[in-house]
Amino acid sequence: MSCPVDRLTADFDHHDPEFTPDLALRVHRAVRERGRVAHSSAHGGMWVLSHHADVDAALRDHETFASGHGVFFPRAAGTPRFAPLEYDPPEQTRYRALMRPPFTPARAKESAAAITGLVAELVRPVVERGHGDLVAELATPLPLAVVGAAVGFSPEARARIRELTSNTWKGMPRDADSGGFWPPFAELFRTEIRRARENPGDDHLSTLVRTRVDGELLTEDDLHVMLVAYAIAGHETTMNTIGHLCWVLARRPDLQDLLREHPDLRPRAVEETLRLWAPVDHGTRFTTREVEVGGTTIPAGARVVLLTGAANRDPAVFDDPDEFRLDRPHNRHLTFGQGVHFCLGAHHARTEFLAVLDELARHGNYRLTAEPTRYFENGRHICVDRLPVEFD
């Protein structure tokens, strides 16, 4: 088919070269309007759910829609699974308990003052200069610093995580094996683990390397699958949401004025950005049994794509689904997931988003000086390449 929307609606493929965030909106709508369940022959065959009710139900039913076969696909051989997302209970439960301490609501509250100070340090030089790139100077360094402090990554590790993440997403879906991208990440983690063992501090990594489960210290593999998730998920989704939050406001001086005058609306602006521009467009699961959705039987052992981006704009749930509205009292977006895999870092992420809005509201309005390019990493993470702005 010559039209990419028609082609991707008939045979969805998140790695198609023409599948961009803007095109995805049209594909999502077309897939959703086509019916409750779609099937695609791409990548060995997969089923696609796009309605809010169906995606929500699948996310909550981890026994039927399992994660243990891996969420990312295609996947280069030898790529480690990311804990706890790519495990099923009881392994998922064990990993989540080990990974949760730095990201509890209480820890997010304790970190709020430090996060606020860090945002100010990043934003004010840009304002004083009168212009800058809010992706390079705010959206990228902020979450890397926050997750680095929460977990205990060294400054040297934080400086490399973004580049290693980009290389991983480039190689994972196309390479035959992980040799082209995983060894540098693995070496970074070995270095961090060795440092934490030899010079332990009061950070979470130093605690993990001394933790015993059933009398045994955690293995290197255990530590690696947790650290890769901390490193990648800990910065990328937050980075991309901050980029989209600033992108939306840079194009809407009226919203900047409104949020400056009404601080109580800032949390709603965060949730609406998360809804409209979910930093992860979709996730996947693997069926453990035959299951019926909307009159269609999905067989056992099937790959299922859960289109979060489509569900978040489902008109059955959201009035004016494509509009940025601050009057949604109950924003039921699925961006942070549901059920046992609900995002571990949601509380810290929301703290960062609000700190960004609070700091920007202290200064004059800003506007784009050039349109950014928005693109997918690994077919699902919606990135903003740059955000050049000029301040009043």
Cα 49 to Cα 75: distance, rounded to the nearest angstrom? 21
| φ, ψ for residue 221, nearest 5 deg | -65, -45
- In this structure, the number of other CB atoms found within 10 A of the CB of residue 93 comes to 13
| pTM of the predicted structure, to 2 decimals | 0.96
Residue with tokens 């210290």: 217
- In this structure, the number of other CB atoms found within 10 A of the CB of residue 210 comes to 12
Contact 123, 376 (CB under 8 A): no
| E-assigned strand segments in the chain | 37-40, 46-49, 65-66, 131-133, 212-213, 216-217, 283-287, 291-293, 296-298, 303-306, 366-368, 374-377, 381-384, 388-391
Contact 311, 50 (CB under 8 A): yes
pLDDT digits over 74-124, tens only? 999 999 999 999 999 999 999 999 999 999 999 999 999 999 999 999 999
- In this structure, the number of other CB atoms found within 10 A of the CB of residue 169 comes to 20
pLDDT digits over 156-214, tens only? 999 999 999 999 999 999 999 999 999 999 999 999 999 999 999 999 999 999 999 99
- Mean pLDDT estimate for the chain: 96
Residue type, 189: F
pLDDT digits over 257-267, tens only? 999 999 999 99
Domains of the chain: 4-391 (1.10.630.10)
**Which tokens in the block code for residue 111?**
């970190």
The SS3 assignment for 104 reads coil
**Which tokens in the block code for residue 355?**
């700190």
Burial annotation 13-47 (CB, 10 A radius, 16+ → b, else e): bbebeebbbeebbebbbbbbeeeebbebebbeebb
pLDDT of residue 363: 97
How would residue 284 be classed by pLDDT, with cut points 50, 70 and 90? very high
Contact 148, 99 (CB under 8 A): no
pLDDT of residue 262: 98
